[in-house]
Amino acid sequence: MLPEGLRRILCLALAALCALFAGACRNAEQDQRKAFIDFLETHVVMAAGTDIVQMSDAIRKKVGNYSRHFDVIATCSKELRDIDMRLAGEKLRIAAPGPVPMDKLGSERARIEQLVAALSRSAQHADAAKAKADAAKTALKQPEDVQAVFDKAYEKEVSGYANASLFLYTVQKDFYAEALRMGVFLEKHRDKIHFKNKTVIIDEQALLQEYNALQSALQEKAQKMQSALAAGRP
């Protein structure tokens, strides 16, 4: 057995070493936290443009485990942008034959249905990506100062982007769904409705009133869609 005096000295030395180690860990975490907050504020919250924010290996080393927190934002942000890109490709493919004039809405319904389906899929995928990111965010353990800045970054790159995308998908889908209604109407009454020089000719008053109501709703949704697309995303 060690003499009592020597045992006491060893215990004191170990305690001092543990305290020193704990202090070093605290300092390292504080440095990582500060670096992460600085990164979020500079490269995400205050950054302009629409490019996906990247975290370099050097920054990952500086922020330590906080890089995993950023990955929650980066992963969802990329997924949302990929959804947008796939939708844009689908819309180009469907629209390749050219715009659908009013007198062809009935016979070209298949193309419009494809657009509605593509927009619905995109909305579902965006919803799923955001829900997955929300769950991952909830599971994070963050100090208050980190959380305050992280929430702002998350709102900009995930919640804000997803909500803006979903709004754009919805207004576009509403317009094309209204166009489908008009197409069904025109196809149903194609023997009584005629177009001449882009002017509609309908002899029956009741049918004309129904057409005018559909046309008014279609124009309203078209204006809403155009305004939303012009505004784009924040």
Spatial separation of the C-alpha atoms in residues 160 and 165, rounded to whole Å: 9
pLDDT at 26: 57
pLDDT, one tens digit per residue, over 118-146 is 999 999 999 999 999 999 999 999 999 99
pLDDT at 196: 85
Q: What is the pTM of this model?
A: 0.81
- Decide if pLDDT at 61 tops 90: yes
Nearest to 182 by CA among 211, 142, 154, 158: 211
Domains of the chain, residue spans: 65-231
pLDDT at 5: 54
Average pLDDT over residues 53-73: 93
pLDDT, one tens digit per residue, over 84-107 is 999 999 999 988 888 888 888 888
pLDDT, one tens digit per residue, over 176-217 is 999 999 999 999 998 998 888 878 899 899 999 999 999 999
pLDDT at 144: 93
Average pLDDT over residues 43-53: 81
pLDDT at 13: 45
| Measured CA distances, 90 to 58, 93, 105, 206 (Å) | 38, 5, 19, 38
pLDDT at 7: 54
Detail the DSSP E strand segments found in 87-232. Answer: 193-196, 199-202
